[in-house]
């Protein structure tokens, strides 16, 4: 049986790339709980402009993330990521200078530039280059957990930092984080000797048509779009409601965000276990959407009460965290075996478009209909999503598994398809000779892992620096 542990290089790659992701996430989200409070003090600024400034980075991120990932296949990962982080840092500096000048148009431009540094797809492709197929999911899980933690830290840290260094200081800190990401990339992230397309993490243009025609996947795309639409729209109004209606001074807003983030995370854990272990994914999933809708209705009804806001936000972030963890798992279960990367690319673009639409629409609703209009708008969006989710097909409880089978011709690939599907626990097998990889759907509860891994070309590695059969340079 092959060694199932990650190499030192794979662990280093995972944590260094996760830190780059984390730097960007912190910079993008730290302003969310404080921006509306600052911006309402600028003469002539409307709530619609505030919402646009919050959400505009989602539009540029959605536009550039897939092209940047594809470009990294051609010219290399590090040049693309370096360029993207530099654009992100420049955008943060533009926003910082504009904040000091009370120039909302400059802030909007800066935020658009921040999103233009869309390195997410290239970072994940780098992670794929630096990890063996059999350990790819572990590496991606480390990056995914870091993203979740960064979001929670940003929500609590934003109000704290705003009290110490102000909004312009947060933007300058974001500039430093962007440049720090370049340092990490150059001196900590290993350099893969060869970069190639990874269908499990990258979008393949030829697959877009089929992925976009899959109504089950479109339901999940609608879900992530709606979640981030609602999140961004809420924070156009919620910080102002906390200060001006509930009467909580802005320097104390972290008193609310800290407990609801902790409680929200703890609340989701047992439901994640039930969904996967007890195979109640659809029931838990649709229930969480309903709770999300109830939470926004609670904000509509009780946004003048600190206790009411805390309870509503606890429900909101408990459901939000559960759904944020469940949606990628459902994509993996429902996407065609060899099209997971394309499905995830469309999914991620939907998320960023949701951020943009949520900022703009939330600002417009706040300008014309006040707090109640924003919260009811969010509840209505969640209601539409719930109706779509109720018609979702029950997912098969299968996981993605990748196996490097080495250089094979078309005939051997067909033979391997048949042989692999005979292994206990393997439901689907697609071997692509051009990739040298078997893309599998497996039931982890019954999988004969030892027999499956006997087909892997990986034996005892000659060195810890050997990943994906290629030499990597530290």
Place of tokens 């009370």: 102
Residue 177 has a pLDDT of 97
Residue 343 has a pLDDT of 94
pTM for the model: 0.92
CATH topology of domain 399-461: Alpha-Beta Plaits (3.30.70)
Residue 464 has a pLDDT of 34
pLDDT over 80 at 3, yes or no: no
CATH topology of domain 215-396: Growth Hormone; Chain: A; (1.20.1250)
Same-fold call for 1-198 versus 399-461: no
Cβ 261 vs Cβ 314: under 8 Å: no
CATH topology of domain 1-198: Growth Hormone; Chain: A; (1.20.1250)
Phi then psi for residue 441, to 5 deg, are -115, 125
Residue 458 has a pLDDT of 65
| Rounded Cα distance, 437 and 457, in Å | 10
pLDDT over 80 at 51, yes or no: yes
Mean residue pLDDT of the chain comes to 91
- % pLDDT > 90, the chain: 77
Closest C-alpha to 257, from 161, 323, 158, 342: 158
Question: Which pLDDT tens digit goes with each residue over 183-208?
Answer: 999 999 999 877 788 888 888 999 99
Question: Which pLDDT tens digit goes with each residue over 134-181?
Answer: 788 889 889 988 888 999 999 999 999 999 999 999 999 999 999 999
Q: Which residues contact residue 340 at a Cβ distance below 8 angstroms, ignoring those fewer than 6 apart?
A: 199, 200, 201, 331, 332, 400, 439
Cβ 163 vs Cβ 151: under 8 Å: no
**Bigger pLDDT: 401 vs 299:** 299
Closest C-alpha to 280, from 322, 320, 241: 322
pLDDT over 90 at 356, yes or no: yes
- Please report, for residues 27, 68, 241, the alpha-carbon distance to residue 169 in angstroms, rounded to integers and kept in the order given: 11, 29, 24
User: Where residue 462 falls among pLDDT bands split at 50, 70, 90?
Assistant: very low
Listed by start position, the domains of the chain span 1-198, 215-396, 399-461
Cα 78 from chain centroid (whole Å) = 21
Question: Which pLDDT tens digit goes with each residue over 86-129?
Answer: 999 999 999 999 999 999 999 999 999 999 999 999 999 999 99
pLDDT over 70 at 37, yes or no: yes
Interior/surface letters 16-27, b for 16+ CB within 10 angstroms, e for the rest = bbbbbbbbbbbb
- % pLDDT > 70, the chain: 96
């Amino acid at each position: 049986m092959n060694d199932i542990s990650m190499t030192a290089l794979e662990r280093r790659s995972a944590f260094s790339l996760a830190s780059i992701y984390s730097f960007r996430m912190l910079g993008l989200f730290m302003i969310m709980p404080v921006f509306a409070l600052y911006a309402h003090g600028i003469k002539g600024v409307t709530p619609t402009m505030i919402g646009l400034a919050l959400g505009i980075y989602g539009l540029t991120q959605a536009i550039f993330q897939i092209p940047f990932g594809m470009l990294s296949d051609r010219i290399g990962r590090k040049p693309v990521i370096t360029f993207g982080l530099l654009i992100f840092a420049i955008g943060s500096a533009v926003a910082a200078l504009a904040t000091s000048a009370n120039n909302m148009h400059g802030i909007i431009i800066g935020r658009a530039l921040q999103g233009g540094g869309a390195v997410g797809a290239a970072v994940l492709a780098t992670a794929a280059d630096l990890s063996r197929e059999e350990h790819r999911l572990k590496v991606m899980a480390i990056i995914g957990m870091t993203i979740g933690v960064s979001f929670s830290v940003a929500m609590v840290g934003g109000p704290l930092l705003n009290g110490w260094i102000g909004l312009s200081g947060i933007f300058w800190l974001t500039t430093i984080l962007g440049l720090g990401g370049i340092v990490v990339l150059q001196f900590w992230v290993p350099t893969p000797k060869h970069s190639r397309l990874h269908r499990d993490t990258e979008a393949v243009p030829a697959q877009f048509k089929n992925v976009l025609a899959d109504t089950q996947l479109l339901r999940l795309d609608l879900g992530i779009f709606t979640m981030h639409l609602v999140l961004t729209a809420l924070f156009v109004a919620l910080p102002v409601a906390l200060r001006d209606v509930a009467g909580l001074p802005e320097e104390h807003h972290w008193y609310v965000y800290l407990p609801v983030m902790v409680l929200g995370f703890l609340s989701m854990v047992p439901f994640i276990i039930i969904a996967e272990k007890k195979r109640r994914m659809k029931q838990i999933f649709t229930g969480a959407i309903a709770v999300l809708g109830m939470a926004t209705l609670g904000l509509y009804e009780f946004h003048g009460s600190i206790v009411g806001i805390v309870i509503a936000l606890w429900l909101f972030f408990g459901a939000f965290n559960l759904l944020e963890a469940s949606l990628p798992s459902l994509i993996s279960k429902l996407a065609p075996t060899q099209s997971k990367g394309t499905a995830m690319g469309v999914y991620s673009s939907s998320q960023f478009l949701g951020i943009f639409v949520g900022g703009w629409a939330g600002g417009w609703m706040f300008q014309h209909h006040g707090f109640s209009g924003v919260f009811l708008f969010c509840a209505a969006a969640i209601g539409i999503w719930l109706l779509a989710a109720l018609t979702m097909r029950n997912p098969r409880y299968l996981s993605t598994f990748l196996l490097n089978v080495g250089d094979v011709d078309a005939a051997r690939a067909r033979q391997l398809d048949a042989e692999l599907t005979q292994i206990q626990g393997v439901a689907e097998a697609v071997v692509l000779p051009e990739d040298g990889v078997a893309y599998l759907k497996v039931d982890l509860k019954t999988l004969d892992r030892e027999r499956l891994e006997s087909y892997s070309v990986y034996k005892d590695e000659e060195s810890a620096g050997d990943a994906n059969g290629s030499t990597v340079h530290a």
